[in-house]
């Protein structure tokens, strides 16, 4: 469950960071960014009761970088 969210958040970061793709195909890049963001939103709706309060806060506020850092911190423990 959490690994799926982590993968979605990492994919979003990778898309945002791919400036070459953005420069080459701005519309495709934006569509991919929107799609992964929609997937994160759908995951959040389906699993919101299964995550801790801090994660719910990050996801509700679209603080996806913070959410990813939180997940990566949990996995490091």
Dump pLDDT digits (tens) for 30-65. 999 999 999 999 999 999 899 999 999 999 999 999
In the predicted structure, residue 76 carries a pLDDT above the cut 60 = no
Average pLDDT, the chain: 93
Band of residue 73 on the pLDDT scale cut at 50, 70, 90 = confident
Q: How far apart are CA 45 and CA 23, in angstroms?
A: 33
pLDDT at 77: 54
Number of Cβ within 10 Å of residue 44's Cβ equals 19
In the chain, % of residues over pLDDT 90: 88
pLDDT at 54: 94
């Amino acid at each position: 469950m959490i690994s799926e969210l982590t993968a979605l958040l990492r994919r979003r970061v990778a898309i945002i960071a791919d400036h070459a793709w953005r420069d080459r195909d701005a519309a495709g890049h934006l569509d991919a960014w929107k799609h992964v963001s929609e997937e994160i939103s759908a995951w959040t709706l389906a699993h919101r009761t299964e995550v801790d309060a801090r994660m719910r806060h990050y996801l509700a506020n679209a603080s996806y970088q913070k959410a990813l850092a939180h997940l990566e911190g949990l996995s490091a423990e």
